Amino acid sequence: MKKFSFLLLMQLIVLLATGQVKLSGVVTGNGEPLAGASVVLENSYYGISTSSEGTFEFKNLKEGDYTLKVSFIGFLTKEVVVSLNADKQVTIHLSPDVVLTDEILISATRANSKTPVAYTNVTGDEIASRNMGQDIPYLLQLTPSFVATSDAGAGVGYTNFRIRGTDLNRINVTVNGIPANDAESHGTWFVDLPDLASSIENVQVQRGVGTSTNGAAAFGATINMQTNALRKDAYGEYKTAAGTFNTFKNTVSAGSGLINGKFAVDARLSKVTSDGYIDRASSDLKSFFVSGGYYSENTIIKVNIFSGFEETYQAWNGISSEMLKTNRTYNSCGEYTDENGVTRYYDNQVDHYQQDHYQLHFSHKLNSMWNINASAFYTYGRGYYENYKQNKKLADYQLPDIGFGEDTVRRTDLVNRKWLDNRFYGVTYSVNYTGSKSSLVLGGGYSMYDGDHFGNVIWAKYYGSSNPNHEWYRNNGKKKDYNFYAKYNYSVGENLNLFADLQFRKIEYSIVGIDDDLRDLGQSHDFNFFNPKFGVSYQPSNNQKLYLSFAIANREPNRTAFVDKAPGGKTPGVETLQDLEVGYNYSSSRFSFAANYYFMNYNDQLVLTGEINDVGAPIMVNVDKSFRTGIELQAGVQIVKSLQWNGNATFSSNKIKNFTEYVDNWDTWGQEQYDLGTTDIAFSPNIVANSQLVFSPVKNLNLSFISSFVGKQYIDNTSNDDRTLNSYFVNHLKADYSFNTNLFEEITLHLMVNNLFNEVYESNAWVYSYIYEGNRSKMDGYYPQAGTHFMFGVDFKF
């Protein structure tokens, strides 16, 4: 069957690649050829960059009418309609833009057609068409090797994601080139910025180490987001959506357009609410985005201010494997037993957080070859999660025992809040050169993180003489992060390109104070990293590309690894990744194909082995050798004019060599050690695949059938079949229809039916294994995802 499918695919490639005519030409600006201009054949898979002489060529085209979209930084984008019935040459003249375009702001950290890395660009239109309240990971889940999961089960509220099996703590995220990862935990929680998707211009996902960027280390991927670019005409939009689980989304946005040819203001206000699929897993999300800019022919000065507030009922405990059989929506968070033995749930068992972002950007074009960028940023986050606790020791909260006559109260029911109050600020910069045969980027940044962690007891059944809102712990983390990088591309002839990317990163991190278990956390760490990257790309023709790259990345342990280590125990060490990528891309007017092989070799990767610290908490341990290797395949076919298919699949192997497991023995109060040899890395499915079939039977109507398959995953590093997530195959149906009225420029109707065939599955889990009375047992928590559910939305543009 596999051989037959492969032969069928090869025949399809041959059939679709067979063309009749050729379209070639030259792109000029200011009377000179423009090297590196983007030339895209609209409604096709064909897109290329012009040569050093400004020329381009499309082969194997069918006869008919085509639209060329031509763009270059500093010039107005131009669309040209060409009718082909024989080979044809065209000359396309681009006019200088009266203002500099926003794409220059993020050019230093983006990969382009000559960069030898695996990446996917997602347009703002693609994101907008899917955006009906779900978090950004769910809007990116059709990109290769991407797996999204939701605590609440429906993609609203707290979400998680992995790329190539790598979790969010190892994935670099930037917004306009500014780091978005939390400096201590290294994670990115998009719930803190609800509906940021409504202010996104485009996203680039680089898989593997990728190119040098600012912020956290990229140990599996980089997600580079650009917010709204300049819209020269005034606009207004109102988008509303509603669906299952009392989910509602409302977004209002407007922009002034270009005022006096120099100034522009844009604003957005959003609110998203949902009860969630899981019991009480509600979300109350609010956000705004305001942007003001000055634009001239050579300069941009832009200010972005955006903020998000989230209050979500906690749903992070999961459901035991036994409970899954009887009650898939059960949520134990906030559960307690009252004085009459009745099970109740605390009303305010919530996560409550607000995050404010301030960005100042400056870009200036010195001449046709040189430009500079500089940005300053300040991010302020504060919030807590609240917990109802039963029968807790007063001493554990630094509360005195309470005497009642001859009796002494040493335990009480209480409510606590664990707070995070942090400030993150710094600068980023780049100097960019683009010539006919080479390009150079010199860039970097500096950031400072200052975060307070503290806890308060806001209520207790027995409080005694203690002050209300009693603080029982406080610690502070400070982190300085410096980085400098240089990227150089050089074209050897027309078809061969050499790439080098060198980064130096310095980190200074310290913690002072005590933790919630009253342990002293005092410590400091310094790191110096050198992260080199090299590659080569070769284009045998304009529609084919081969590339090879090798990169090294280093990553410091996050806060959890440092905080949870046992006093006097071994300090977690630096992780190092060596990443080899080999790829091939092919495109024609009706067919595209890409294959990327990767081998990610880790030294001293930090993983959970079952080892614990002195208070019984699990700790991260460096394992000597581990790796991820696989092949990512992508394909697209314009079957007929009204029917298009796009898909991707990743086949991988993810292993830890010589893994040793540690299991708590409750009979001896010690730990048992098991040498398991080579095992699978947790949460790393061997197969991840996506498919999207788009049918456009009439103008402005699109019907999409979307499918995602995720293979079996182990939920710890032992390769034990008793501790797994089953594979799942989920399908969705999406419909969009647009029309015009006298009152509105455009009205678009959206319908999304998620999990069309009611697949029963879980996308995430945790497990704790132990020995009791001589038998191996476990505690676990699974995160069920919703069955069939829908969202209906309407967009009004005016």
3-state class (DSSP) for residue 127: helix
752-774 average pLDDT score: 96
Q: 13 pLDDT exceeds 70?
A: no
Q: How confident is the model at residue 693 (pLDDT cuts 50, 70, 90)?
A: very high
Q: How confident is the model at residue 700 (pLDDT cuts 50, 70, 90)?
A: very high
Instruction: Please report the pLDDT score of residue 396 as a whole number.
Output: 95
Quick one: tokens of 473?
């712990």
Instruction: Please report the pLDDT score of residue 3 as a whole number.
Output: 45
Q: Are strands 643-665 and 618-640 parallel, antiparallel or unpaired?
A: antiparallel
Instruction: Please report the pLDDT score of residue 424 as a whole number.
Output: 98
The pLDDT tens digits for 308-351 are 999 999 999 999 999 999 999 999 999 999 989 999 999 999 99
**Partners of 629 in the beta sheet?**
599, 653
Least confident of 43-52, 106-115, 626-635, 668-677: 43-52
Instruction: Please report the pLDDT score of residue 567 as a whole number.
Output: 80
Q: Which residue has the tokens 């590339």?
A: 547
754-782 average pLDDT score: 96
The C-alpha atoms of residue 672 and residue 679 are separated, in whole angstroms, by 18
Instruction: Please report the pLDDT score of residue 405 as a whole number.
Output: 78
Percent of the chain with pLDDT over 90: 79
Instruction: Please report the pLDDT score of residue 15 as a whole number.
Output: 43
The C-alpha atoms of residue 229 and residue 363 are separated, in whole angstroms, by 13
The C-alpha atoms of residue 591 and residue 593 are separated, in whole angstroms, by 7
The pLDDT tens digits for 139-158 are 999 999 999 999 999 999 99
- Dihedral through CA 560, CA 563, CA 565, CA 570, nearest 10? 100
CB neighbours of residue 651 within 10 Å? 15
Q: 535 pLDDT exceeds 70?
A: yes
Q: 465 pLDDT exceeds 90?
A: no
The C-alpha atoms of residue 279 and residue 677 are separated, in whole angstroms, by 41
Quick one: tokens of 532?
């080199």
CB 725 within 8 A of CB 763: yes
CB neighbours of residue 640 within 10 Å? 9
Helix/strand/coil (H/E/C) assignment for every residue in 381-403: EEEEEEEEEEEEECHHHCCCCEE
The pLDDT tens digits for 512-525 are 999 999 999 999 99
The C-alpha atoms of residue 563 and residue 620 are separated, in whole angstroms, by 10
**Partners of 649 in the beta sheet?**
633, 689
Q: 623 pLDDT exceeds 50?
A: yes
Least confident of 48-62, 393-407, 566-580: 48-62
206-233 average pLDDT score: 94
- Report the alpha-carbon angle 165-626-720, nearest 5: 70
Q: Amino acid identity of 106? A: I
Instruction: Please report the pLDDT score of residue 16 as a whole number.
Output: 45
What is the chain's mean pLDDT, rounded? 93
Instruction: Please report the pLDDT score of residue 767 as a whole number.
Output: 95
- Number of residues in the chain: 798
The pLDDT tens digits for 474-532 are 999 999 999 999 999 999 988 899 999 999 999 999 999 999 999 999 999 999 999 99
Highest mean pLDDT among 35-44, 71-80, 170-179: 170-179
Query: Which of 300, 293, 291 has the alpha carbon at shortest distance from 266?
Result: 291
